[in-house]
Every structure is written in C-alpha cells, then in structure tokens.
Amino acid sequence: MIGTRGSPLALAQAYETRERLAKAFDLPFDAFEIVVIKTTGDKIIDRPLKEIGGKGLFTREIEDDMLSGKIDIAVHSMKDMPTLQPEGLVLETYLPREDVRDAFISPRASGLEELAPGTVVGTSSLRRKAQLKLRRPDLDVVEFRGNLQTRLKKLEEGVAEATFLAMAGLKRLKMDEVPKTAIEVETMLPAVAQGAIGIERRVEDSRAAEMLEAIHDGTTGQRLAAERAFLAALDGSCETPIAGLAVLEGGTLHLRGEVLRPDGSEAVDDALSCVIEDGAEAGREMAGKLLAQAGEGFFDWRG
C-alpha cells in the first residue's frame, strides 16, 4: 500500500511511483493500492507554516501510519521533507528529478520586472518571500497557502497579482494553460530538493527495500545527498530561508547555496565543486562557511 497526501500533485506523484513499480515487476496497477492520508499541514491552511510547526506537518500522519503497518511505503515531495526521519523509517529512494526551477505565475505580467511598485505578490514560502524582498523590496508580499489549485484560484480572485509555483509540479500535472515564466536558477535559486520525489519505507521491510531499489534514480540520489547535507547542517526548516542546488557534470558535483535574512534585507551565498562521492561532505562544508559569513542573529525573524 502506497501512502500519500490527497492533493492532485501528491496523487500524480503516487501514480508515477505505482506505474514505475508496476513496470519494473510486470505487475498490474491494482497490485498497488494508493491510500490518501490527510495531514495537519493540509487541514490548517489559514496560518503560516512557521506558526504551526514547520515541515513535519506534511508527513507526521503518513509516517505514523507507516510505522503502524497501515501502509507500506510513502511518496513525498522532497522539498517538504525534514532532514531526519523518525526512528524505524528510512528515505533513500528517489525518482528521476523534474525541472528544479521556480515559475513566476501572473495573468498579466511575464516577470517580476513588469510589476509596478506596491503590487501584491502571494507566497507561502519563506525562501521565496525573502528572495523576492531582496530583489524587489518595493512589492507587497502576502501569505498564500494551499495546494497548487487553491493558489491559482486565489490568483484568479485577485487576492494577489502574482505568485510562484514549482515548475516540476506544473509539468507533472500537465498544466500547460497556466500563465507561467520559468525563473532561471541563476536568478532565483530553488529550494533544496525541489523537483524530486522521495519514497520512504520501514527500515526492516526488506521486501519494500528490494522493490524500491529497482526504481531508484542514482543521479537524483547523489544530488540530494549534497543538498540535504547542506540543509541539515544549517538546521533548515520552514522558518529558515535557504536555497540550494547540486548539479552533476561528468564525475564532478557543483553545489550552490544561499541563506537569507527572513525579511530579505541581506543574503549570503557560495559555490563549490567536488568529486561526486564527496557531495554530502561538501554540503556540510558550504553550510559552515555560510553560517560563518552570516554571523549571529542572521535568521532572527523581523516580520
């Protein structure tokens, strides 16, 4: 049984997982039951995540059901995942990564540069909010929670003039009709693990481990090892504006990272390259450098 959140994007990711497993083992789709689990993060959509507990709000109920044996594996958007899993669970299977870029969404503008001072932009991401305020402090940023469809509806209703979504989600849902402009990573570094799907299982479940090994994408795993080590060393959460991206070129891994003040008034960034096998160590090294540059009090919330 495959556990997942119930949003259209979460279900699309669960269907992709089911399809890959079915093809890998020549089984019918109905051999894998998809179980929808509503999480606290899905139930409370009128408050910022930092006020109600951070990233674990999208995984806790799903992981509880896995530990109790109600489901066998769980499918997650990796950018939502804490860097540590509960005792008894392991997260080591990743599907091929989609487009990592953010998308600028607006019915009337094709980019930030077209927005007039004072224009309202909605986002629930502290990273995006800080990056936006760093580049366009003259814009008015408002809280914009809910799944992809909910945020698009808010945009249609005029709650904001523009918002941001992940290109990966739009592509997985084949939402070509959405008025979007991809933002290159050189302009807006994405969230750690953005565009990646992870599959979690119980540590002792050898049957699930064997099946998941057949659909694991090693390249995505190598990239996420560096990015998530970077995030973990920064003690990253939904309360911390952090961006990071690893790319592979031959046998070399290139890692970029950025940390920002929550109000977008300042940012520090770095980049380094290493052999792929040293990716996790490189992530920790970069985190240490950025913490030293940032100094005490850098992440203090200012509103």
For 247-255, what is the mean pLDDT?
Answer: 97
Report how far residue 165's alpha carbon sits from residue 184's, in angstroms, rounded to the nearest whole number. Answer: 13
Scored b (16 or more CB within 10 A) or e, 263-275 reads bbeebbebeeebe
pLDDT at 204: 96
* Ramachandran sector of residue 235 (left: φ over 0; alpha: ψ -120 to 50; beta: rest): left
- Identify the pLDDT of residue 302: 46
Q: What is the DSSP letter of 278?
A: G
- pLDDT for 303 beyond 50: no
pLDDT for position 42: 61
Question: What is the gyration radius of the CA atoms in the chain, in angstroms?
Answer: 19
Pairwise CA distance, residues 230 & 284, whole Å: 5
- Residue 141's φ and ψ, nearest 5 degrees, are -100, 130
> For residues 79-107, b (16+ Cβ closer than 10 Å) or e, as one string?
bbbbbebeeebebbbbbebbbbbbbbbbe
Q: What mean pLDDT is predicted for residues 136-165?
A: 87
Catalytic annotation, residues: 80
Chain mean pLDDT for the chain: 90
pLDDT, average across residues 267-292: 96
User: How large is the average pLDDT for residues 233-254?
Assistant: 87
Between 90-94, 107-111, 117-121, the lowest mean confidence (pLDDT) is in: 107-111
Question: Residue 218 burial by CB count (10 A; 0-12/13-18/19+): exposed, middle or buried?
Answer: exposed
Mean pLDDT of 221-250: 90
State pLDDT tens for residues 183-207: 999 999 999 999 999 999 999 999 9
> Residue 81 in contact with residue 59, Cβ under 8 Å?
yes
Structural tokens at position 283? 């992530």
Q: Would the pTM count as exceeding 0.85?
A: yes
Q: Which pLDDT does position 37 carry in this prediction?
A: 93
**Residues 33-91 pLDDT 10s:** 999 998 766 655 555 555 555 556 678 899 999 999 999 999 999 998 989 999 999 99
Binned at pLDDT 50, 70 and 90, residue 210 comes out as very high
pLDDT at 50 (0 to 100): 56
Mean pLDDT of 138-152: 84
Residues 6+ apart with CB under 8 A from 230: 192, 242, 244, 255, 257, 283, 284, 286, 287
Give me the percent of the chain exceeding a pLDDT of 70.
91
DSSP 146: S
What are the structural domains of the chain? 1-95+196-216 (3.40.190.10), 102-183 (3.40.190.10), 217-294 (3.30.160.40)
**Separation between Cα atoms, residue 112 and residue 17, nearest integer Å:** 35
Q: What pLDDT was estimated at residue 49?
A: 54
Q: What is the pLDDT of residue 144?
A: 81
| 300 class by beta-carbon count within 10 Å (0-12 exposed, 13-18 middle, 19+ buried) | exposed
